Amino acid sequence: MKTTVISESSNGALHPVTAQLVGAASPLGGQITVICPGGVGSSDAAHISGVSKVISVEGDCFETYDCLAWSKSLSPLVEGDLILSSSSAIGRELISSIAASKGIPVVQDVISLTDGFSATRTIYSGKAIEEVSISPPCAISLRANSFESAGEGGSAETTTVDVSQEVSVAVKRALARASERLDVSEADIIISGGRGMGDPANFSHLNEVADVLGAAVGASRAAVDTWDEIPHSMQVGQTGKTVTPNLYIAVGISGAIQHLAGMRSSKFILAINKDPEAPIFGVADYGIVSTWEDALPVLKDHLAELMSN
Amino acid sequence: MGVAVLLKQVPDTTAKIGISGGRVDESSITKWSISPYDEYALENAIKLKESGHGDVVAITCGPARAAKCLTEAAAVGADRLIHILTESSLDSIQVQSLLSAAVKESGCDVVMCGKQAADTNSGSTGPGLASSLGFSCVGGVTGVSMEGDVASATRLGPSGLEEVEVGVPCVFTFDKGDTELRRPNVRGIMMAKKKPIDSLTPDDLGVDASNSKVSIKSHSSPPKKQPGQKFVGSESVPEVVNKLREEANVI
Amino acid sequence: MAYEALDFYDIDSLLTEEERMVRDMVRDWVEDRVLPNIEDACRDGVFPDEWRVEIGEMGILGAPLKGYGCPGLSYIAYGLICQELERGDSGVRSFASVQGSLAMYPIWDFGSEEQKEKYLPGMAKGDLVGCFGLTEPDYGSNPGDMITRAEDKGGHFLLNGAKMWITNGTIADLAVVWAKLEGEIRGFIVEKGDEGFSAPEMKGKHSLKASVTSELVFQDCKIPKDRILPDVKGLRGPFSCLNNARFGISWGAVGAAQSCFNSAREYALSRIQFGHPIASFQLVQNKLSWMLREITKGQLLAYHIGKKKDDGSWIPEQISLAKMNNVDMALEIARMSRDIHGANGILDEYPVMRHMANLESVKTYEGTHDIHNLILGRHITGIQSFTREP
Ligand SMILES: Cc1cc2nc3c(=O)[nH]c(=O)nc-3n(C[C@H](O)[C@H](O)[C@H](O)COP(=O)(O)OP(=O)(O)OC[C@H]3O[C@@H](n4cnc5c(N)ncnc54)[C@H](O)[C@@H]3O)c2cc1C
Ligand SMILES: Cc1cc2nc3c(=O)[nH]c(=O)nc-3n(C[C@H](O)[C@H](O)[C@H](O)COP(=O)(O)OP(=O)(O)OC[C@H]3O[C@@H](n4cnc5c(N)ncnc54)[C@H](O)[C@@H]3O)c2cc1C
């Protein structure tokens, strides 16, 4: 049994999900090789426990992202019964391309994996769970935070190869920075404020949390109606937008039926409200009875800490 | 010349999904639609055709019911319709082999599809197809325009929204962006009804559609949500943040 | 929440693919364009001009007419279009009914070749808007006694009189006007800008607020000789138009009722009183099941008369029955739905009060509810009871 893990990077460093990929592969036994596109994070990868070999793949083509060029450079170095990547946008593209070049099947966004291989994933936007068996050799992308990270303490041997391929996708210019805030109808995470925010200027505290999470900022109708600064496009609810994010954070929102109509199908709901009797707690998976003044700064700090490792 | 657009038929995102006997019960699904990201691909394919890049060839792979997406595509301007008729569930290599045979047959040098389909949310088809055809691939684009054989596309890359240039042949996978979908009209619908659909079997395309390497063992309903947990005071925030990651798996 | 149209008896499975595609196209348009803007349109008392353009682009005007740039769809498809438009608002359906069944149809059936070529292609695209002038201030249910007159002046006709309650009047490029020529009812095409013709808008409606309603005034209105509809004389002219429009209304009313039912169901499931959703109380369930029952019957009536329109085996009395039944049913459902919504039911946040007010007009125009009773009464007994004279 041989596994090749394609490492994930962000901001020029190894992304922590890489250790989770190794963590998922370890129980399956055998040798684990980590391939680092562009050489990013190869020394950190070598320290993940359970890794037998790291291949740092350098080359000009890794300066910008070109799926075909990357996959052509990596593909000859990838071997074994199982190829793993993260299910980020680039992770999915790369592993599909590599799998296709090797003529092996790929299964994406898997949340559990056992010997053999048997994998589960959610389908129909989370309305059902599918368990599949996949005959090796095969490629699988894993959802972040679904697997235990492998610990540190490894000392794998690292080889560096330079295999640049011709780049066909040229980046001409940047149009907008990645951090531009999303619309509530598009976001996976939404943080909304209500009348309890007291003043529209206090929405800046929601913005700060949103920036940490890459979330969109929404509002209750009371907030939209009371304050001109809060546009109707932010309103969630029966007469606003209906949203189904993975996480909905309601701050200073009482949870009127018309508000619930727009957000109760969110996968997880976190409510922060100073009134323990507020109806929003009836639909919240996690409720924090506190003023936002107390809770939001702590929330921001802890999220920032968590997101950075 | 020509744009091939790949359309997958999926349960409408509003449809309820019933499960019986360990399998999704397809008969309980009342509405099937073109997968939403594929609709953006279709719209952009028609725009490219209007700017002079040949005909739009709409291709779908799926059972008999999937023909409906081809007729819908024709109603808004697809010129040729290819239906690869498959009944059993296929693995990614099989799907890509079928589609790449159809794309080759169509002679198109630009392929457009959604960045992922709304049923499995996989996103394997575009990049996999590009690799097996030896086409370049640009993922997650929101718009494409062409000048001769060079396309320029807007994509959401790792460092934000950027404009990239790429030569044909190329596969583009689409994200939503601010693309506005065109509405069909009665004339389009009447013409679509008359447009022939080329139905091809895997045999016709020389692809073995048996022996999928990926087989479905079971479908089940997602676990019921745990009852809500309530915490008092801002001191509980760290604990809740941990639960968001460990229990809920949402951050 | 996505709109799921009530279809308890699976009428959907009886439709052709083309009919379903047309229905979905109009449904999506209503969802995208009408529902988000209808309350503003009502508040301002306007029929937004972009709706005219977009309805024209969809190519649904004059749905069942063939040739001259008209769509040539089945009557079932026409019915479905009316159903979806009226699920949005009766005013939007009125625009399409008047244009297609009351203005395009008489030109298509009774017009000269030149008239058809001149008007129909532009009307089918929505570039030209038509209206239908039959009702007068003093003659509503009995249009046969109308006083608007046309005189043959050799080189032209001269029109004198006034029409009232004319949908689309002020925004129309042409009016199909019924007037007496030598004592006999004839159809005339009057164009915007014709000398002696004006179409002031009527204000102050509590119903069909997003529809334009006007007077048509003819003061020595001079029109060329080629504007008379050559092929029809007497009440048969306007009545044939009404048959088509009434047919459309029988479907449209189903759409309005579906909208009210949908809103009532959702509201009843989410509104908690006495610790439980009101949908769990038997009295509320009784109301919902009554709505389901009545809408389902109305759908079957509309579908069946649509099939008969398509194969030509219908009689006008059957259309009268469908119009009066379905509008009556929709109005009762709107009222009951309003009741289920409690106080919220009177707000413009919910569609029900608007449908209810609209349906009061729909009950009256195209033959009042009771006029249809009299039509059926005459059919059953052979005795007319419109007037006391023999
Ligand atoms: C037909 C109709 C349609 C409607 N549509 C919508 C809609 O689309 N969307 C919508 O949101 N509403 C809608 N509403 C309005 C809805 O009924 C409520 O009025 C609204 O949601 C209340 O907003 P809120 O929760 O922000 O305000 P409130 O109900 O006033 O709640 C404020 C909350 O903030 C808490 N709070 C106060 N100070 C603090 C603090 N310092 N820290 C933490 N918590 C604090 C309070 O305990 C309270 O629970 C609709 C109403 C109607 C009738
Ligand atoms: C919003 C709106 C739009 C309209 N658009 C148009 C249009 O585009 N073109 C057009 O020509 N007209 C249009 N109309 C006019 C409509 O067709 C007439 O209002 C309708 O024919 C009824 O006429 P009336 O209002 O004069 O009522 P009346 O005929 O005066 O009837 C009043 C009442 O008396 C009853 N009644 C009358 N006669 C009898 C009888 N013999 N026995 C028992 N009961 C009787 C009626 O049922 C009714 O209840 C429109 C009306 C409205 C409200």
Q: Which chain B residues touch A99 with a CB distance below 8 Å? A: 92-93, 124, 128
Q: Is the CB of residue A121 less than 8 Å from the CB of residue A111?
A: yes
| Closest alpha carbon to A192 in A133, A233, A160 | A233
> pLDDT at position A112, please?
94
Q: Is the CB of residue C249 less than 8 Å from the CB of residue C102?
A: no
| Ranges of CATH 3.40.50.1220 domains, chain A | 184-307
A235 lines ligand 1 (CB under 6 A): yes
Contact C21 B187 (CB under 8 A): no
- H helix intervals, chain A: 17-25, 42-46, 67-74, 89-102, 203-213, 221-226, 257-263, 292-307
For residue C29, the chain B residue with the least C-alpha distance is B183
- If pLDDT is split at 50, 70 and 90, which confidence band does C2 have? low
Specify the ligand 1 atom closest to the Cα of A240. Answer: 8
| Ranges of CATH 3.40.50.620 domains, chain A | 2-162
Domains present along chain C, CATH in parentheses: 11-124 (1.10.540.10), 130-227 (2.40.110.10), 236-381 (1.20.140.10)
Q: Is C2 on the interface with A (CB under 8 A)?
A: no
Which CATH number is correct for B2-220, 1.10.3720.10, 2.40.280.10, 1.10.420.10, 3.40.50.620? 3.40.50.620
> pLDDT at position B65, please?
95
What is the dihedral angle through the alpha carbons of A263, A265, A266, A268, rounded to the nearest 10 degrees?
120
The mean pLDDT of A266-291, rounded to a whole number, is: 95
CB count within 10 Å of CB C118 equals: 18
Which of B225-237 are b and which e, b meaning 16 or more Cβ less than 10 Å from the residue's Cβ? eeeeeebeebebb
Give the C-alpha separation, B23 to A130, whole Å.
Answer: 9
C138 lines ligand 2 (CB under 6 A): no
A242 lines ligand 1 (CB under 6 A): no
Say whether the ipTM exceeds 0.95. no
Contact C58 B192 (CB under 8 A): no
Contact B184 C21 (CB under 8 A): yes
- If pLDDT is split at 50, 70 and 90, which confidence band does A35 have? very high
Check the CA dihedral B214-B212-B11-C9 and report its sign: negative
A258, A275, A290, best to mutate for ligand 1 pocket (most atoms within 8 Å of CB): A258
Phi, psi for residue A279 in degrees, rounded to 5: -60, -20
Amino acid (one-letter) located at B40: Y
Residue whose entry in the numeric block shows the structure tokens 């149209």: C5
Check the CA dihedral B90-B95-B96-B97 and report its sign: positive
Specify the ligand 2 atom closest to the Cα of C385. Answer: 41
> pLDDT at position C330, please?
98
> pLDDT at position C1, please?
47
* C-alpha pair distances (Å), A170 with each of A287, B130, B168, C128: 48, 17, 13, 50
User: Judged by CB atoms within 8 Å, which residues 166-225 of A form the interface with B?
Assistant: 168-180, 186, 189, 213
Query: Shortest CB distance from A288 goes to which of B17, B236, B251?
Result: B236
Spell out the residues 6+ positions from residue B100 whose beta carbon is closer than 8 angstroms to its own: B129, B132, B133
Give the C-alpha separation, A17 to A11, whole Å.
Answer: 14
Give the C-alpha separation, A242 to C197, whole Å.
Answer: 50
Give the C-alpha separation, C90 to C84, whole Å.
Answer: 10
Query: Shortest CB distance from A257 goes to which of C1, C270, C349?
Result: C270
Contact C18 B190 (CB under 8 A): yes
Task: Report angle CA C358, C363, C365 to the nearest 5 degrees.
Answer: 95
Q: What is residue C279's three-state secondary structure?
A: helix
Give, as one character, the DSSP assignment of residue C32.
Answer: I
Phi, psi for residue A114 in degrees, rounded to 5: -130, 175
Q: Which of B12, B183, B186, B197 to mutate to test the interface with C (most CBs of C within 10 A)?
A: B186
Nearest CA to CA, how far is C64 from chain B (Å)?
12
- Neighbour-count burial of C83, counting CB atoms closer than 10 A to its CB (0-12 exposed, 13-18 middle, 19+ buried): buried
The length of chain B in residues reads 251
Give the model confidence (pLDDT) of B3-15 as tens digits.
Answer: 999 999 999 887 8
Contact C1 A257 (CB under 8 A): no
pTM for the complete prediction?
0.88
Give the C-alpha separation, A31 to C355, whole Å.
Answer: 70
- If pLDDT is split at 50, 70 and 90, which confidence band does A164 have? confident
Long-range contacts of B189-193 (CB under 8 A, 24+ apart): B189/B75, B189/C18, B189/C21, B189/C22, B189/C25, B190/C18, B190/C71, B190/C72, B191/B74, B191/B75, B192/B71, B192/B72, B192/B74, B192/B75, B192/C21, B193/B71, B193/C17, B193/C18
Q: Is B180 on the interface with C (CB under 8 A)?
A: no
Query: Shortest CB distance from C349 goes to which of A239, A257, A260?
Result: A239
Ligand 2 geometric centre to CA of C252 (Å): 19
C178 lines ligand 2 (CB under 6 A): no
Q: Is the CB of residue C200 less than 8 Å from the CB of residue C159?
A: no
**Does pLDDT of A180 surpass 70?**
no
Q: Which residues pair with B172 in a beta bridge?
A: B112, B138
Q: How many helices (H) and strands (E) does chain B have?
A: 6, 15
Which of A8-20 are b and which e, b meaning 16 or more Cβ less than 10 Å from the residue's Cβ? bbeeeebbbbbbb
Nearest CA to CA, how far is A80 from chain B (Å)?
16
Q: Which chain C residues touch A263 with a CB distance below 8 Å? A: none
Q: Is A267 on the interface with B (CB under 8 A)?
A: yes
The mean pLDDT of A231-251, rounded to a whole number, is: 90
Contact B162 A124 (CB under 8 A): no
Ligand 1 geometric centre to CA of A252 (Å): 8
Q: Which ligand is nearest to the CA of C374?
A: 2
Question: Chains with 3 or more CB pairs closer than 8 angstroms to A?
Answer: B, C
CATH class entry, domain A2-162: alpha beta
Q: Which chain A residues touch B212 with a CB distance below 8 Å? A: 105
Spell out the residues 6+ positions from residue B226 whose beta carbon is closer than 8 angstroms to its own: A285, B247
Check the CA dihedral A120-A122-A127-A133 and report its sign: negative
Q: Which ligand is nearest to the CA of C242?
A: 2
Q: How many helices (H) and strands (E) does chain C have?
A: 12, 9
> pLDDT at position C290, please?
98
| Closest alpha carbon to A85 in A136, A165, A20 | A20
Spell out the residues 6+ positions from residue C122 whose beta carbon is closer than 8 angstroms to its own: C128
Q: Is the CB of residue C101 less than 8 Å from the CB of residue C248?
A: yes
- List the structure tokens of A146: 């679904």
Spell out the residues 6+ positions from residue C221 whose beta carbon is closer than 8 angstroms to its own: C158, C159, C160, C190, C194, C195, C196, C197
**Does pLDDT of C128 surpass 70?**
yes
- If pLDDT is split at 50, 70 and 90, which confidence band does A210 have? very high
* C-alpha pair distances (Å), B180 with each of B42, B142, C22: 11, 11, 20
- If pLDDT is split at 50, 70 and 90, which confidence band does A177 have? low
Specify the ligand 1 atom closest to the Cα of A272. Answer: 43
Q: Catalytic residue, from C19, C215, C294, C366: name it.
A: C366
Taking domain A184-307, whether its CATH number is 3.30.450.40 is answered by: no
Query: Shortest CB distance from B249 goes to which of A103, A123, A146?
Result: A146
A256 lines ligand 1 (CB under 6 A): yes
Give the C-alpha separation, C62 to C109, whole Å.
Answer: 12
Q: For every residue of C292-339, which 3-state class applies, written as one string?
A: HHHHHHHHHHHHHHHHHHHHCCCCHHHHHHHHHHHHHHHHHHHHHHHH
- If pLDDT is split at 50, 70 and 90, which confidence band does C212 have? very high
Q: What is residue C388's three-state secondary structure?
A: coil
The length of chain A in residues reads 309
- If pLDDT is split at 50, 70 and 90, which confidence band does C232 have? very high
Query: Shortest CB distance from B183 goes to which of C17, C25, C72?
Result: C25
The mean pLDDT of A110-138, rounded to a whole number, is: 93
Per DSSP bridges, beta strands B110-114 and A286-289 are unpaired
Give the C-alpha separation, B233 to C34, whole Å.
Answer: 46
- If pLDDT is split at 50, 70 and 90, which confidence band does B222 have? confident
Q: What is residue A152's three-state secondary structure?
A: strand
> pLDDT at position C390, please?
60
Q: Is C272 on the interface with A (CB under 8 A)?
A: yes
Q: Which residues pair with C238 in a beta bridge?
A: none
Nearest CA to CA, how far is A300 from chain C (Å)?
32
Catalytic, C389? Answer no
Q: Is B148 on the interface with A (CB under 8 A)?
A: no
User: Judged by CB atoms within 8 Å, which residues 9-38 of B form the interface with C?
Assistant: 12, 14
**Preceding omega of A137 cis (within 30 degrees of 0):** yes
The mean pLDDT of C13-17, rounded to a whole number, is: 95
Contact B189 C29 (CB under 8 A): no
Q: Is B168 on the interface with C (CB under 8 A)?
A: no
Q: Which of A238, A239, A258, A265 to mutate to test the interface with C (most CBs of C within 10 A)?
A: A238
A218 lines ligand 1 (CB under 6 A): no
Contact B189 C28 (CB under 8 A): no
Ligand 2 geometric centre to CA of C244 (Å): 17
**Does pLDDT of C315 surpass 80?**
yes
Q: Comparing B174 with A241, which gets the higher pLDDT?
A: B174
Contact A242 C1 (CB under 8 A): yes
Phi, psi for residue C156 in degrees, rounded to 5: -155, 170
- Residue by residue, DSSP assigns B67-120 as HHHHHHHHHTT--EEEEEE--S---HHHHHHHHHHHHHHHT-SEEEEESS-TTT
Check the CA dihedral C194-C195-C197-C201 and report its sign: positive
**For chain B, which residues make up each domain, given as ranges?**
2-220
